[in-house]
Amino acid sequence: MIKKCYNSIILISTVTVLLSLGSCDPAKKYEKAETEAITNYLNSNPTDTFKLESDGLYYLDVLDGTGRSPVLHDTAHIVYTGKFTDGTVFDSNAGGADLVFPVGEGYLISGLDEGVTYMKEGGKATFLIPSKLAYGTQGYYTIPGYSPLVFDVQLVKVIPGPSK
């Protein structure tokens, strides 16, 4: 009798644990929190009309530039401030040297690299970048995984890349 009761308890415990593990998907919790953070940011800035790109990048022209738009392999010079959706700044080169990089060659997070291509030299823009176009599920140093990021960017200069 005790053995039968013990086996029943083990069976019930095992089924309970398996059901708990099967129904628990931590990624869904973080994805939901990221979606809420993006929605809250957009709702708290209702006068800003962001354009949603097909890959999930939100782009907002703040000041139209008059120069050329960078294309693959051009060298871009930018001034930027990176923030979390709550406004906390995590990185900036404002007041320092321009960030100089070859466009489309993987030196920056993909959302920032893509967003710069929508700008013209001399312009300013804000990008709302979902984590899949930033640091993904793993994060990077002080940036947790599933973090949507906001970048204020000024495209200072574009140097044409090598011609083909």
Q: What phi and psi values does residue 152 have, to the nearest 5 degrees? A: -95, 125
CA 151 to CA 153: how far, in whole Å? Answer: 6
- Which of 27-31, 73-77, 89-93, 141-145 shows the lowest per-residue confidence on average (mean pLDDT)? 27-31
pLDDT recorded at residue 19:
43
Answer whether residue 22 shows pLDDT above 50: no
Beta bridge partners of 60: 126
Fold (topology level) of 27-159: Chitinase A; domain 3 (3.10.50)
The domain segmentation of the chain, as residue ranges, is 27-159
Task: Determine the average pLDDT of the residues in 2-12.
Answer: 49
- pTM for the structure as a whole: 0.82
Taking only the tens place, the pLDDT of each residue in 89-121 is: 999 999 999 999 999 999 999 999 999 999 999
Q: What phi and psi values does residue 119 have, to the nearest 5 degrees? A: -95, 165
CA 108 to CA 77: how far, in whole Å? Answer: 13
According to DSSP, residue 143 is labeled B
Give the confidence band of 5 by pLDDT, cuts at 50, 70, 90: very low
Q: Bigger pLDDT: 115 or 161?
A: 115
pLDDT recorded at residue 159:
95
Q: Which of 10-14, 19-23, 147-151 is the most confident on average? A: 147-151
Q: What phi and psi values does residue 118 have, to the nearest 5 degrees? A: -85, -10
